[in-house]
Amino acid sequence: MNRCARIRSNYGTTIAEFAPTMWLLLMLFTFPLIAFGTLGVRYAFFLNAARLAATSASQCKSFLTNFSATQISAVNIANTVATQSVKGFSGITMTGITTQIAICPLAGTTVTRQTTALSKPADTTVNNYNIEVLITGQINPLIQLPSKSILGTIPGLTAPIMTSARSSVYAENPQGLNQ
């Protein structure tokens, strides 16, 4: 009899300790993984917005000048695509976008970047031309804790992460980069 009572008490102890153990596992492992996974997914969407904007801008006929309602400049189409891409996801805020021309000499010297149209027509025998889009913004944590909490200000946990994403795509119409 004494032995049966001991077995029952061991089972009762296991069941009684199961709830606090699972709570600790949830708080120490599962919640941080979900929180950091959310930050990673949001950054992937942010990076994808820069990639989509650069891809769309690289297909435009001009860099700054809108020729018509359907032939929009690379700068304007990059702004539109990036804004729409970021607006589609919660927890992401875009604070700035820069569209520039990257002039890559075929001789392998220094790459130059400019946010204005080319001063003369593109010379594809000397340079390659890329459209680069740089997006700056912030990614909010899954649950934003108050900054006055015990933890203080920790980007990604109690405060948003300030970040940037850059994408560069070969310009499909380099002759229009001077417009």
What percentage of residues in the chain have a pLDDT greater than 90?
A: 41
Most confident of 15-19, 34-38, 146-150: 34-38
For the segment 32-55, the average pLDDT, to the nearest whole number, is 91
pLDDT, position 136 = 96
Residue 17 banded pLDDT, cuts 50, 70, 90 = confident
pLDDT, position 146 = 67
pLDDT, position 58 = 92
Residue 28 within any structural domain of the chain:
no
For residue 86, CA distances in Å to 56, 73, 133 come to: 15, 20, 14
Residue 25 within any structural domain of the chain:
no
| Total domains in the fold of the chain | 1
Residue 30 within any structural domain of the chain:
no
* Closest to 83 (Cα-Cα) out of 72, 91, 74, 92: 92
What percentage of residues in the chain have a pLDDT greater than 70?
A: 88
Residue 86 within any structural domain of the chain:
yes
Residue 12 within any structural domain of the chain:
no
pLDDT tens sequence across 48-88: 999 999 999 999 989 888 888 888 899 999 999 999 999 88
Residue 15 within any structural domain of the chain:
no
Burial level of 32, CB count in 10 A (0-12/13-18/19+)? Answer: exposed
For residue 115, CA distances in Å to 28, 136, 171 come to: 47, 16, 14
Q: Is the pLDDT of residue 21 over 90?
A: no
pLDDT, position 2 = 57
For the segment 129-134, the average pLDDT, to the nearest whole number, is 94
Residue by residue, DSSP assigns 80-91 as HHHHHHHHTSTT
Residue 1 within any structural domain of the chain:
no
Residue 46 banded pLDDT, cuts 50, 70, 90 = very high
Higher pLDDT, 23 or 41: 41
Residue 74 within any structural domain of the chain:
yes
Which range of residues forms the domain containing residue 169? 36-178
Report the chain's C-alpha Rg in angstroms.
26
Higher pLDDT, 17 or 10: 17
- What is the residue-averaged pLDDT of the chain? 85
Residue 31 banded pLDDT, cuts 50, 70, 90 = confident
